[in-house]
Amino acid sequence: MRPKKPILLYCADHELLSTIAFALRLHPYDVTAIDNSRSATAVMMASDLVCGVLIHARQGDLAGRLIHRLLEADLHIPVLLVDRAGDLAPVRYADMVLYGRNTSMKHILGALDVLCARKHAARSFT
């Protein structure tokens, strides 16, 4: 059995956070689910994560600003931004961005596979 890849999942919406965290844990991911941006930043800076997933759930809420702050921090891991609300401007700091309410778990899992493979490849060359 392969070890699970440690990832961080941030979402200010508690229900969506728990739903997506549950689904990701059914796959090869060890999920740290956080709904506080300060805690998310601290975990992303201090942990040996493979990837970070930031989810913006509702249009016009303050989570959008918090996500911008997270992305502007000097993170050393690939970051997937899932903008379900569709109101965040394209963010240059994210490694991959998925837009729209119809973003499915299949889209998120596919993006995570790509980003985690990229992180693994970067480690093997250093």
Distance CA 43, CA 50 (A): 12
State the pLDDT confidence band at 15, using cuts at 50, 70 and 90: very high
The single residue listed with the structure tokens 């059995």 is 1
Task: Tell how strand 51-56 and strand 5-11 pair up.
Answer: parallel
For residue 106, give every residue at least 6 positions away whose Cβ sits within 8 Å of its Cβ, in sequence order, or none. Answer: none
Q: Which two tokens stand for residue 55?
A: 């989810």
- List the one residue out of 44, 39, 82 whose CA is nearest residue 64: 82
Give the structural domain span for 103. Answer: 5-125
Residue 34: which CATH number? Answer: 3.40.50.2300
- The total number of structural domains that make up the chain: 1
Predicted TM-score (pTM) of the model is 0.84
Torsion of CA 110, 111, 113, 116, to 10 degrees: -170
Q: For the sheet with 29-34, list strands across it.
A: 29-34, 5-11, 51-56, 79-83, 96-99
pLDDT of residue 90: 62
Write the pLDDT tens digit of every residue in 21-68: 999 999 999 999 998 878 887 888 777 899 989 888 877 666 777 777
- Please say if the pLDDT value at position 124 is more than 90: no
Task: Tell how strand 79-83 and strand 5-11 pair up.
Answer: unpaired
Q: What are phi and psi of 92, to 5 degrees?
A: -75, -15
